[in-house]
Structures are given as C-alpha cells and as structure tokens.
Amino acid sequence: MSEIPMEPGAELPELKITPDRFLTVRYAGASGDFNPIHIDEDFAKQVGLPGRILHGLWTMAQVARAQTEAAGGPHALKALSVQFRGMGVPEAEVTVSSTVRSAQDGIVTVDTVAAQNGVQIIRNAVAELEAG
C-alpha cells in the first residue's frame, strides 16, 4: 500500500496520460455514450467544436485513477467530486495533479485538477482518501 502524504500542501504523484485518437470510439462503446461530438469528427466541427472531444466521465476516471494509484488501490478512494470546466481532445497529454488539503481521522482530503494544453478541463475536484 502506498503511503499518502498527510501534511497540507504535499503533492501526490502526477498522472500523465495521452488519449489516442481512437479512445473516444472505444469509450463510447464501453460507456454507451454515442453522442456524435465524441465519435464523429465532421459532426463535432459542424457544431463548433475543434473536433471530437473526450467524454467528461473518461477524464473524471483519470482523476480517480490518479488518486487510487497514489493511495495504493481503489479501496482507498472514499469520495470524489469534480467540476467539468473544459473540453479535452484526443492525442494531447492530460495531466492530473493533486495536493493535500487536510488530513483528519485517517481521511486525507485532496484538491485535484486535470489539465490539457494549459487549460483545466476538470477543476475544483476534491477526493477523500483513506490513509493507509
């Protein structure tokens, strides 16, 4: 089990992942979300997007993944809330960074964001992790 830092301001390891160009199609099949903004490049552009965009829930899953990897497994993630604030795109690195806000009674509260191309696509996210 990983040792979660307990002191406020401590940083957890960053997670960096680059979604490949086919990720949105695979995720649509896994999630059942076949909204054409995720799977049809031409449609996405017709509605004013730069092209296909990532599913918000996929990005949220990366935030959860960063927390569970830092805490030693999914059992440690007790709560997660996020705000979707931007659009992610395939083939550009997503970085999830996390900072300890507080630790009390065996629960570490972590502030976290996911950013891509200098834009926070998830911000004001808060995770509660069980300290090992």
Rounded Cα distance between 22 and 28, Å, is 10
| Phi and psi at residue 93, to the nearest 5° | -60, 135
Determine how β-strand 119-130 pairs with β-strand 15-17: unpaired
Per-residue pLDDT of 17-64, as tens digits, reads 999 999 999 999 999 999 999 999 999 999 999 999 999 999 999 999
- Return all residues near 106 (Cβ < 8 A) that are at least 6 apart: 130, 131
Which CATH number is associated with domain 15-130? Answer: 3.10.129.10
pTM recorded for the entire structure: 0.93
Q: Which of 31, 30, 84 is nearest to 59 (CA)?
A: 84
Q: For position 54, what pLDDT does the model report?
A: 97
Rounded Cα distance between 13 and 122, Å, is 17
C-alpha 56, offset from chain centre: 9
Residues 95-101 have a mean pLDDT of 97
- Is the predicted pLDDT of residue 6 greater than 90, yes or no? no
Q: Which tokens is 18 given?
A: 């680059």
Per-residue confidence band for 2, with pLDDT thresholds at 50, 70 and 90: low
Q: For position 98, what pLDDT does the model report?
A: 97
Residue ranges per structural domain of the chain: 15-130
